[in-house]
Chains A and B, each alone.
Chain A
Amino acid sequence: MKYIVAIIQPHKLDEVMKALEEAEVNLLTVSNVLGRGRQKGVTEVYRGAREVGSLLKKVKIEIAVNEDFVEPTINAITTAARTGEIGDGKIFITDLAEVIRIRTGERGGLAIG
Chain B
Amino acid sequence: MNSGDTAWVLICTALVFLMTVPGLALFYGGLVRRKNVLSILMQCFIIMCVILLQWVLFGYSLAFGPDTGAGIIGGLDWAGLRHVGGPVNADYAATIPHSAFMIFQAMFAVITPALIIGAFAERMKFSSFLVFTVLWATLVYDPLAHWVWGTGGWLRKLGALDFAGGIVVHTSSGISALVMCLLLGRRIGYQNAPFRPHNLPFTVTGGALLWFGWFGFNAGSALAANELAANAFVTTAVATAAAGLTWALIEWQQHGAPTVLGTTTGVVAGLVAVTPACGFVNPMNAIFIGILAALVCYLAVAVVKAKLGYDDALDAFGVHGVGGLWGTLATGLFAETAVNGAGADGLFFGNLHQFLVQVGLVIIVPLFAGVMTWFLFKFVDALMGMRAEKRAEIIGLDLTQQSEAAYTVIE
Contact = CB atoms under 8 A, between A and B. Distances in A.
Interface string B258-282: 0101100100000000000000000
22 contacts: A45-B255, A45-B257, A45-B259, A45-B262, A46-B197, A46-B259, A46-B261, A47-B261, A47-B262, A47-B301, A47-B315, A48-B251, A48-B254, A48-B262, A48-B298, A48-B301, A48-B302, A49-B194, A49-B306, A50-B255, A51-B194, A51-B196
A46 B200 CA distance: 10
Contacts of A50: 255
A44 interface: yes
Nearest to B303: A48
Interface residues of A, number: 9
A50 B257 CA distance: 12
Contact of A45 (B251, B265, B301, B303): B251
A56 to B, nearest CB: 14
Nearest to B314: A47
Contacts of B298: 48
Interface in B137-159: none
Contacts of B315: 47
Contacts of A48: 251, 254-255, 262, 298, 301-303, 306
Interface string A44-68: 1111111100100000000000000
Contact of A44 (B196, B251, B254, B265): B196
Contacts of A44: 194, 196
B84 to A, nearest CB: 42
Contacts of B302: 47-49
A49 B196 CA distance: 10
A51 B259 CA distance: 14
Contacts of A54: 194
A15 B411 CA distance: 29
Contacts of B265: 47
A106 to B, nearest CB: 27
Contacts of A46: 196-197, 259, 261
A100 B298 CA distance: 59
A111 B303 CA distance: 60
A50 B259 CA distance: 12
A50 B302 CA distance: 10
Contacts of A47: 261-262, 265, 301-302, 315
A25 to B, nearest CB: 28
A54 B254 CA distance: 19
Given A46-B259, A47-B261, 9 more contacts: A44-B196, A45-B255, A46-B196, A47-B265, A48-B262, A48-B303, A49-B194, A51-B194, A54-B194
A97 B315 CA distance: 54
A103 B374 CA distance: 65
The 4 closest A-B pairs by CB, nearest first: A48-B302, A51-B194, A45-B255, A47-B301
Contacts of B306: 48-49
A47 B262 CA distance: 6
A48 B257 CA distance: 11
A48 B298 CA distance: 8
Contacts of B259: 45-46
